[in-house]
Amino acid sequence: MSPKRSDVPELSHRLSRRSALGVTAGAGAAALLGLPAGTAAAAPRARQPRTPMVRGFTSRFAEVNGTRLHYVTGGQGDPLVLLPGWPRTWYQFHKIMPPLARRYRVIAPDLRGMGDSDKPAGGYDKKTMARDIHELLRALGHSQAYVAGEDIGSMVAHSFAANHPEATRKVALWETGHPTEIFNDLRMLPQPGRPAPWWFAFNQLAQLPEQLLEGRFRFIVDWLIDFQGGDPRAFSEEARAIYAAAYNTPDAIRGGNGWYQTFQQDIADLKDYPVLTMPLLGIGGKYYELLRAQLEGLAADARYVELKGAGHYLAEERPDDIVRELTAFFA
């Protein structure tokens, strides 16, 4: 029996989300849906939600290092910078910002290429992005800060600490470290117990990601959350829609991919970096072992915490644990 026409959009959405790259489900899905031959299931209609502001925080912009950065700030105390990752924005910290703001002046920027920040043609190596953050701190009147990052943000945080040690009180990284030669050994085909981040290679491609994903980025967001998230229920429909909208345009896709396309430059830069001497905290969930391997020999005073059973997106999946560990470490 063919499904009722009223059921087609929901069935189409579910089938589309199961496709490997999140493109349309195609002729096979059309047959399953009882649609005429040659009819492809459509992508979910793109939404353009407005990112809600966290209570007690304000949204601002600053011209730094030749680009315009958007950042959100609130709270009182010593400055604490939170650096986000792909494919998300500053909003990934919305659960941990209010409790951290009781002790710190929290500053959560969109990195260059992300969200409401500019998306220039270049400058996506982590050294340049770290300089963005350093100049942002100086523009805000801060000479030192605690620095924390998740995913791409942790790469920028490490580069910040290496290039601006005088401005780094302590640094916390979770779920990945700075790009090292380990990245060149990662396998793209799934193997038991080993990560297979196919998007590392996909995001290196020029133009094709923009052509495939413009207006369809919700597929990537959902797939990554379902694959890497320890608890996909931790991500609301609103949050998923916000992240999808942030990357739905060709410029946004190109900007985010720039962080991956500079990995070889990042690896080369790391060879000239000193061993970090300030206290460093590494927190891991899904990629705890990878994080430990990446940081080996790169920090003189490192401590590690494993959140067993956690996925990759710790600030949203395990916010209470992240707040507890950051507060204890920075204190």
CA distance 105 to 195: 36
Q: How does pLDDT run across 99-145, given as a tens digit for each residue?
A: 999 999 999 999 999 999 999 999 999 999 999 999 999 999 999 99
For residue 71, the Cα-to-chain-centroid distance in whole angstroms is 15
Q: Is the pLDDT of residue 45 over 80?
A: no
- Per-residue pLDDT band for 12 (boundaries 50, 70, 90) equals very low
Q: How does pLDDT run across 77-103, given as a tens digit for each residue?
A: 999 999 999 999 999 999 999 999 999
Tell me what percent of the residues of the chain surpass a pLDDT of 70: 85
Query: In the predicted model, what is the mean pLDDT of the chain?
Result: 88
Query: Where along the chain do its domains lie?
Result: 1-43, 58-183+256-330
Phi, psi of 42 (to 5 degrees): -80, 155
For residue 51, the Cα-to-chain-centroid distance in whole angstroms is 16
CA distance 27 to 1: 18
pLDDT at res. 38: 35
Q: What angle do CA 107, 290, 284 make, to 5 degrees?
A: 45
Q: Which residue has the higher pLDDT, 153 or 6?
A: 153
Q: Is the pLDDT of residue 34 over 80?
A: no
Would you mind telling me the total number of residues written for the chain in this entry? 331
Q: Is the pLDDT of residue 146 over 80?
A: yes
Q: Which residue has the tokens 């601006």?
A: 164
- Per-residue pLDDT band for 188 (boundaries 50, 70, 90) equals confident
C-alpha neighbours within 13 Å on the C-beta side of residue 153 = 30
Nearest to 75 by CA among 133, 140, 153: 140
Q: What is the CATH number of domain 58-183+256-330?
A: 3.40.50.1820
Q: How does pLDDT run across 257-289, given as a tens digit for each residue?
A: 999 999 999 999 999 999 999 999 999 999 999
- Per-residue pLDDT band for 191 (boundaries 50, 70, 90) equals confident
